Every structure is written in C-alpha cells, then in structure tokens.
Amino acid sequence: MPLFGAHLSIAGGYHKAAEAAAALKMDCVQIFTKNNNQWRAKPITEEDVSLFREAVEGAGLSYPCAHTSYLLNPAAPDDELWHKSIDGLIVELERAEQLGLAGLVLHPGSPKDRGEEFGLDRITQCLDRVLAKADSEVPIWLEATAGQGSHLGHRFEQLGELLKRSARPKRLAVCIDTCHIFAAGYPIADETDYEQTIAELDHHVGLSNVAAFHLNDSKKELGSRVDRHEHIGQGKIGREGFRNVVTDSRFDSLPMYLETPKGQREKDDKDWDAVNLGLLRRLKPRAR
C-alpha cells in the first residue's frame, strides 16, 4: 500500500502539522513553509527546525513535503513577476532544505497569451536558474494541473517535456493530482480507462519519475479543466477511481497526500481528513 497523509496547517509552528498527522496515524504530511499568499517569509529559526524534525521523527512520518506559494509563476511572460518567482522559489527550496523535506510541489505556471512553447521554455529557464543557485538538494515535484485558463502541466506531454529539457532532470519529479488529471481529461474510474491513463503517464513522463500523489475527488466533470476538490468518493471520480490508484502495486510506498476540504461548511464539525483516510485505508484490490 502507499503512504497516506494530508496537507496540514502550520499554525502554531511547523511541528503542529506533524503532531496533527501523528494523531490521525498518517504516514506522511504536506505543509506550506510560509504564508502561501504572501511573498515575504518570516525566517525559520533553529527552534522551528528542531521541533519540526523531532515531531516528524517521533510520529514516524516519511516524505514530509511542502507546497509552494500560489503566487509563483515560473511561466510568467512579465519579466518582473518571472524574476520574482525565481527568487521566491529559491527561498522556498532553501526553507525546505532547512526543515529536511523530501520534496517541494510546484505548479508549472501560466504563460498567459504567449502560448505553450513560450511557457515551456520560460519554465525550463526558471527551473535551471533556481536549481543552479539554491543552496538546497530538495527536489522539485512538478504538479499535474487541471489546465484552468492557460496553465501548463495539464498534459502528460508537457510534464515530460519539462523533464526532458531540464539541465538538472534528476532534481525534478512529478506529483500527480487525481482531481487535476481527471479535470484535464484523463479518466481513472473505469479500470480499462485507468490503465490507459497510466500507460500514457508512463510513456510521456515515466512512472519512475512520479514521486507523489495528491488524492482529491473532483467537483467537476471529466475534461472540465476546472480545479475544484471534493471529498473522496463524493465527486465525479468516485470510489472506484481511488481504488484503482491506491491498490496499484506500481505506486506502493509512494506518498499520497489529501488536499480535500477541511470542513469549511457551516456547522460541519467532522474531521474530514479522518473520514477520507478511513475510506482510503479500507479500499481493497478488485477480485480477479
């Protein structure tokens, strides 16, 4: 079986996320290393690092990772934003290094109206500069996107091309988000469709380059190119799609992080991470 976890809050300190993961008997955890909607970042102290690493070790967590700020746009045609994204990504990689993280998840970005080829080239240049300059060995995990607007990364061909063009491909890998690939047009609920989708992933990206999964159901239909997460089994993918993913022996021991809603609904006091994790853990391979 894969390793199950979730994206958890760092409110009160990074160690709080690890402690919350331990309380839910998670195997892994994803965090932000800073406020995800601000460019500025409060320095990480030695105490922050010590408490977090001790909490991760104490909980027996594997593959603690971080998601980058949503402000970053490695494909930006605007030079000011592009250079700001380079600097911001360097900071996030170095923060991930301080905390001892296994990976840093990054959305490839949007070239706006400049087109795919411009965007792929822009992303490649950004990543090459960042990986050459950052004082960090943490790999960047390029996330498959839903393809909203002009965002790249919604086709496996695009992700594979970014790996191919990189001057440092061993520092890159891919994170597959189930909601995103479904919204981008890759079916995973039917077993035959799922196998075809994974075959395409293997052909264009290579399964050895898949480092992690985000497990999210989708509020929107297949091919909608709209990124709206739903609880496991309550969206358009359904339980069978997740059965296909989490019982696939090719992904054994990979970290899989929930990014499902946290109970923001009015009067909703359920611990949705516990509910979703419980469902995933109960899924068994189909009888042959």
The reply to whether 116 sits in an annotated binding site is no
DSSP line for 230-283: E-TTSSSS-HHHHHHHHT-GGGTT-EEEE----S-STT----HHHHHHHHHHH-
Contact 149, 115 (CB under 8 A): no
Q: How far is CA 11 from CA 16, 203, 233, 274, in A?
A: 7, 41, 29, 19
The reply to whether 7 sits in an annotated binding site is no
The reply to whether 177 sits in an annotated binding site is yes
The reply to whether 67 sits in an annotated binding site is yes
Instruction: Give 165's Cβ-side CA count (13 Å radius).
Output: 17
The reply to whether 107 sits in an annotated binding site is yes
The reply to whether 227 sits in an annotated binding site is yes
Structure tokens at 156: 């496996």
At what angle are helices 46-59 and 79-99 packed, to 10 degrees?
Answer: 60
The reply to whether 204 sits in an annotated binding site is no
The reply to whether 128 sits in an annotated binding site is no
The reply to whether 214 sits in an annotated binding site is yes
Binding residues: 67, 107, 143, 177, 180, 214, 227, 229, 259
Binding residues for Zn(2+): 67, 107, 143, 177, 180, 214, 227, 229, 259
